[in-house]
Amino acid sequence: MSVAQAQARSFSAQSQNQNAADAPVAAAAAADKKDAPSDMFMTLLLAQIRNQNPLDPADPAQFVTQLAQMSQMQNGQEMLKQLQSQGNLLRELQGASLGAQVGKPVLVQTDRIRSDGQGELSGRVTLAGEEKATTLTLIDAAGQRTRIDLGKRASGGSDFKIKLADYHLAAGDYQLEFSTDSGQKGLLELKAAVSGIRLPVQGGEPVLSLAGLGDFPASSISALLQAA
């Protein structure tokens, strides 16, 4: 064996030994990385204690307060991680639950819709007392108002159904106003089938696409109904 080959083998063996020795150190450094903030805090606190003026020592209560603040910060970070994890899980469960609703009807509380001007507009009105006359007004983007008579309504909830083509409405966005003969307010809910669910990638509230009405946040859905 030549001298050069012997040196090469010796260097290779030394490198392998060094890598084997460095592996636990690197693993330990990676494991301790998450504890770096607390280690840094303890290092600074010990340095503060060691370097304080012996003739004018710091109040021990200050150190206790600092330790308590550090503990609160760590607890807050852990709680935040748990909340984020639970939030992601809740979002997945909510998405799975809402996904089963695709194709089924729901009731939504809204004062705005996006309509194609065709088909039917159906829903429910809930009143505190009997009303001799009720009206639903659709206002388009130009401010033109279309009044639709819903007739006499009993106390409680009652359904309605409107053929939009009868009112020659153009496709577009409409604002809704529900009014009663007495001036008392009532609850207006629209009925439509769920055509799709959108789950925001960065988190947030799921959005439901309702056939003939547009997109609505999950929080505006007031009832899940059985398919007819």
Q: What is the pLDDT of residue 218?
A: 87
Distances (CA, A) of 76 to 11, 43, 83, 121: 50, 21, 10, 49
Please identify every stretch of the chain with a pLDDT value under 50, giving residue numbers as ranges. Answer: 3-4, 6-8, 11, 20-21, 23, 25-31, 33
Q: What is the pLDDT of residue 4?
A: 47
Specify the pTM: 0.61
Q: What is the pLDDT of residue 28?
A: 47
The 10s digit of each residue's pLDDT in 71-121 is 777 777 788 777 776 666 676 676 667 778 889 999 999 999 999 888 899
CA distance 219 to 64: 45
First to last CA, the chain: 89
| DSSP E strand boundaries for the chain | 105-108, 112-115, 120-127, 131-139, 145-153, 156-163, 172-180, 187-198, 207-210, 214-217, 221-224
The 10s digit of each residue's pLDDT in 136-146 is 999 999 999 99
CA distance 125 to 158: 6
CA distance 128 to 201: 41
The ranges assigned to domains in the chain are: 44-50+62-100, 105-224
Q: In whole angstroms, how large is the CA radius of gyration of the chain?
A: 34
Q: Could you please state the CATH topology (level 3) that the domain comprising 105-224 is classified under.
A: Immunoglobulin-like (2.60.40)
